[in-house]
Structures are given as C-alpha cells and as structure tokens.
Amino acid sequence: MADVGALLDDMRAEGEELDELVATLDEEQWARPTPAEGWTIAHQIAHLAWTDDVALLSATDPGRFAGVVEEALRDPFGFVDAAAEERARARPADLLSSWRLGRCRLSDALRGLEDGRKLAWFGPPMGVGSMATARLMETWAHGQDVADALGVTRTPTARLRNVAHIGVRTRDFAYATHGQEPPAEPFRVELVGPDDEQWVWGPADAAQRITGSALDFCLLVTQRRHPDDLAVRAVGADAAHWLTIAQAFAGAPGKGRKAGQHA
C-alpha cells in the first residue's frame, strides 16, 4: 500500500520546485508562450491553480464539485482552456499567490481525509494517494512546459516514479479515450530511474514490454515529447501502439508534441 504521507510530501515538493522557476519572473516572462498551443506561462500556472481548487472541492464539498463536472460536460473539449484563460488574466503576483494558497489548502485537506476515502474526479473516482499522485503528475508536466518556455533543463528526481506509476496505471484509460478496447494481457514496463535504479511494473514473463529511461517515459505519458524523440522502446505490436496513445492525464486525448519539436 502506498504511503499517502510520502506522496503528499512529494506533491508539495513538486509544487515548490515549480514555484522556484516562476517566483521571480517579470510580467513579460509570464506572458511568454509555452509549447502548449495558445498557452503562456501564466496559463500553465492558472490551470494548476484551477485544478488544485476543484480537487479541494472534491475533497471538501462533493456537491459543489458535482456542479463543476456538470458545467464541464457542457463544453467537454473547451472547459479546461476556458478556465486557464480566465485565471491567466490576473496580475502575475495575484495568480502566484492564489496558486500557492490553493495547493497548500489542498495538501492540508488531503492529509485530513480518512483512509479509503474515494474522491470524485473528471475520470474514475480515486483514493487520496491517487489524487496526490495525479496532482504531482500534472504539476510536473505543466512545469515541463514552463521549463521549456524558459529554456531551463530540470534535474530529474525520484519523484518521477510517481509520474511513471500513474502513466502505467492509466494504460486502459488511454485506450478508452480513443474508443479502443485495451489488450487483455498486462504489459511489462522496465524503466531506469534518475539514479540508475530499476523501476518495474507487470509480470516478468509478459510478451508485451516497454523499456527505457524513466524520464523519457514520463515525458511520453504526459505528452510533453513525441515518442520518436524519446529513449523508450516497445517489444510487441500492442506495446508499440500504446506508446502512440499513452495519456496519464484525465480528459480528451491530448494533441501531444510534434516530432523534433524539442530537438
């Protein structure tokens, strides 16, 4: 069983690392475009702030969260962009302050929930540990967009294991978002972490296998790099196909990145 406290510590640390990237930016830098089409650095932080706030609603006020879901269903392909656009109009100092406050409140709320509590979300309901992992994953992924916009190379940490884990666990979800039936047999995923440690999921004798760099796998499942640009390899046709649709985040299939975009 996952150590929820450790996951929440990792979630907090991921937010703090991104905070260090944006804390001293001027207004011109906040308006800098990121690799996500139409999104500036301000949009990236605005999206994280909004998502933390709705996650807090899920944890503390399920009725109001259900209202957010109902509203999102009226515009399932545009509500995320609309929310980011609205918050990105705030002054950078106000946006930064609201993001900091929101992620602190979410962390405190999740720490106070009882074991076994399931939280409603835009995809399937999830436990507290899964919610913390999802928030860490999104913070890391949008942080990559910010880093790319600023020309910064981040140092990978052991927190990547959380991102890789949710990437593996969402295999069947990725098929569902594309209207496809997932393979019946499990895959084997073998990754090399930042300190050359081995991270593995799935049976050792699985015919379908994924191997490679943990960092590159995380960039792939969060769709921050094109599969052709990454050191991730597949054995088996099903595993190879999964790499083209893998998606660790909830919602509609993402647009991903173009091959060679970050060469």
- The enclosing domain of 74 has a CATH number of 1.20.120.450
Tokens 């995320």, residue located: 80
- State pLDDT tens for residues 177-216: 999 999 999 999 999 999 999 999 999 999 999 999 999 9
Q: CA separation (Å) from 195 to 39, 191, 192, 225?
A: 33, 11, 8, 22
Does the pLDDT value for residue 171 go beyond 90? yes
The number of distinct structural domains making up the chain is 2
- Report H helices in 153-213: 160-169, 171-177
Q: CA separation (Å) from 60 to 57, 105, 113, 131, 209?
A: 5, 11, 9, 13, 40
Question: Which pairing describes strands 126-127 and 118-119: parallel, antiparallel, or unpaired?
Answer: antiparallel
- State pLDDT tens for residues 225-252: 999 999 999 999 999 999 999 999 987 7
Question: What is the residue-averaged pLDDT of the chain?
Answer: 95
H or E element in which residue 100 lies: helix 92-111
- Residue 210 sits in the same domain as residue 139: no
Is 101 a member of any domain?
Answer: yes
- Residue 77 sits in the same domain as residue 173: no
Domain that includes residue 173, residue range: 160-245
